[in-house]
């Protein structure tokens, strides 16, 4: 793809990162391929040849040729099966019809994946973020999904493959064949694992299990039983209790990932509180939480600028295939176009895929041409403007990162939650043998009484220039150094 640049340019990026003491990981999508991929084109040309078994191709039932092999649904709505008339087979696609799933039961597929990983590692890549990697193992008999589970999770059949029968085996094999080779530095395996939960997540990432290093589990991205497709206000108090419970269940072999956003979800500031008055404070609060909590933080592009959802007005402004498919499905099921659009606008992934604003020009400095996706440039929230503003969200993130980088306690120290029953207030201490920090957050849009001040606490970083003793302003965050570890 010419628009993605050349391998020589990528080599320069890798070398530039390494010269600066950074590591670089790429996205690895091996649950499925494009239907334009050479493997799939060869499978279509000869489904009984060597590449047919690379995919899950199923002949029709002679008695019911029009019926798919089972009732599994795509994550993007509709059946997870596509009929291929040219070869008279059904092909499984858990996502878009143009994304057929690979057949990991085939050992040749697993060796192909290991080989491509080794190829990238030889170029200097340091690891991979592994797209929906927990979906790679499907039961060979492809049983129907339970209707009740399908109704609850909105994807029928997911219980059979979100934690498939050979998942652990496949991950251990891939690590041994590509990520942990003798005489080479181990490479990072970060798995995107929707629906996994705490305990099964621990089985996938335990340091002694030889599988993944970290996972992205999405259970915390919607609060109180809501889904991404609802327009509601996210409850930070719910997230506080979720995080406290999660940390309490981790053992010495476990480690947590911390994130609020990625390319598949709307912006968190818009979900928590879309009031522009609170945008800056809330952006700083979320950054403070990510970069001082125990775990490995992941910052998605735009968070450091307090990016919010885009004011899309029409479906044709969106490029998100999921949004278009959901809109059509909702209308076919009887929703009005206004109702369907309201749900799509609340949930579209394009909120996070719009180019970030590098400057205040009409295209945000992203291009001199027409960007692939339109985005609004809000005054004061471009990179150029925030670089010049010492009180900006961007500069708050930079101070947080510098503080974290210089502190072993903030990177690896234990966490002790302070008065967790105090509603609206989220406070904790991070400590190791040499130092300790107290972090205090107001999770609400109202002034809030703080926990009693700790002796010898010295403020080192705050979201608000003015401080009121004993009170946190709406969405205020503070980090204090405790001069003597307690």
Q: Report the catalytic residues.
A: 131, 192
208-213 CB contacts, 8 Å cutoff, 24+ apart: 208/253, 209/168, 209/172, 209/253, 210/172, 210/175, 210/176, 210/180, 211/168, 211/171, 211/172, 211/175, 212/130, 212/133, 212/171, 213/127, 213/188, 213/189, 213/255
Can you read off the two tokens belonging to residue 42? 């060869």
Asked whether 13 and 24 are in contact (CB, 8 A), the reply is yes
Asked whether 371 and 362 are in contact (CB, 8 A), the reply is no
Kindly report the number of other CB atoms within 10 A of residue 214's CB atom. Answer: 21
Pairing of strands 214-216, 188-192: parallel
Closest CA to 95 of 159, 158, 4: 158
Strand ordering across the sheet containing 89-92: 57-58, 89-92, 81-84
Non-local (6+) Cβ contacts of 67 within 8 A are 60, 61
N-terminal to C-terminal alpha carbon distance within the chain: 56
Distance, in Å, from the CA atom of 50 to the CA atom of 342, rounded to the nearest integer, reads: 46
Distance, in Å, from the CA atom of 462 to the CA atom of 457, rounded to the nearest integer, reads: 13
Closest CA to 444 of 290, 224, 240, 222: 240
Alpha-carbon Rg for the chain in angstroms: 24
Distance, in Å, from the CA atom of 70 to the CA atom of 384, rounded to the nearest integer, reads: 53
Distance, in Å, from the CA atom of 378 to the CA atom of 370, rounded to the nearest integer, reads: 18
Closest CA to 124 of 6, 1, 22, 277: 22
Phi and psi at residue 248, to the nearest 5°: -70, -25
DSSP character at residue 178: I
Asked whether 323 and 348 are in contact (CB, 8 A), the reply is yes
Can you read off the two tokens belonging to residue 22? 């950074």
Distance, in Å, from the CA atom of 259 to the CA atom of 236, rounded to the nearest integer, reads: 13
Q: What is the dihedral of CA 449, 455, 456, 459, to 10 degrees?
A: -10
């Amino acid at each position: 793809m010419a628009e993605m640049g050349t391998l020589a340019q990528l080599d320069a990026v890798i070398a530039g990162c390494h010269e600066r003491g950074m590591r670089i990981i790429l996205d690895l999508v091996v649950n499925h391929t494009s239907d334009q991929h050479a493997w799939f084109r060869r499978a279509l040309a000869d489904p009984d040849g060597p590449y047919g078994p690379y995919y899950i191709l199923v002949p029709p039932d002679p008695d019911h040729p029009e019926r798919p092999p089972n009732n599994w649904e795509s994550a993007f709505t509709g059946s997870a099966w596509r009929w291929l008339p040219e070869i008279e087979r059904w092909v499984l696609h858990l996502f878009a019809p143009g994304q057929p799933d690979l057949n990991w039961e085939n050992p040749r597929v697993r060796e192909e994946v290991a080989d491509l990983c080794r190829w990238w590692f030889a170029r200097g890549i340091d690891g991979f973020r592994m797209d929906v990697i927990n979906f790679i193992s499907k039961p060979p008999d492809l049983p129907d999904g339970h209707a009740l589970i399908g109704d609850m999770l909105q994807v029928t059949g997911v219980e059979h493959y979100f934690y498939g029968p050979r998942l652990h085996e496949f991950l251990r094999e891939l690590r041994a064949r590509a990520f942990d080779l003798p005489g080479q530095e181990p490479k990072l395996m970060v798995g995107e694992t929707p629906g996994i939960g705490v305990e099964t997540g621990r089985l996938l990432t335990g340091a002694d299990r030889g599988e993944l290093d970290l996972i992205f589990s999405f259970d915390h991205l919607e609060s109180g039983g809501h889904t991404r497709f609802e327009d509601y206000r996210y409850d930070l108090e719910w997230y506080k209790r979720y995080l406290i419970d999660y940390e309490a269940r981790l053992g010495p072999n476990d480690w947590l990932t911390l994130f609020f956003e990625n390319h598949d979800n709307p912006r968190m500031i818009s979900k928590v509180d879309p009031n522009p008055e609170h945008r800056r404070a809330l952006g700083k609060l979320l950054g403070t939480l990510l970069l001082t909590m125990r775990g490995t933080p992941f910052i998605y592009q735009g968070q450091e600028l307090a990016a919010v959802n885009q004011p899309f007005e029409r479906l044709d402004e969106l490029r998100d295939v999921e949004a278009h498919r959901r809109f059509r499905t909702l209308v076919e099921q009887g929703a009005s176009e206004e109702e369907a659009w309201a749900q799509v606008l609340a949930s579209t992934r394009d909120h996070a895929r719009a180019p970030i604003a590098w400057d205040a020009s009409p295209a945000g400095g992203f291009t001199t041409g027409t960007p692939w996706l339109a985005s609004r440039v809000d005054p004061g929230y471009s990179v150029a403007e925030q670089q010049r503003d010492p009180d900006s969200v961007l500069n708050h993130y930079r101070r947080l990162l510098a503080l974290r980088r210089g502190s072993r306690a903030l990177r690896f120290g234990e966490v002790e939650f302070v008065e967790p029953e105090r509603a609206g207030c989220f406070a904790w201490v991070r400590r190791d043998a040499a130092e300790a920090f107290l972090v205090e957050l107001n999770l609400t849009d109202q002034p809030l009484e703080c926990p009693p001040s700790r002796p010898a606490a010295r403020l080192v970083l705050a979201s608000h220039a003015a401080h009121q003793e004993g009170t946190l302003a709406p969405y205020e965050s503070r980090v204090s150094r405790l001069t003597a570890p307690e």
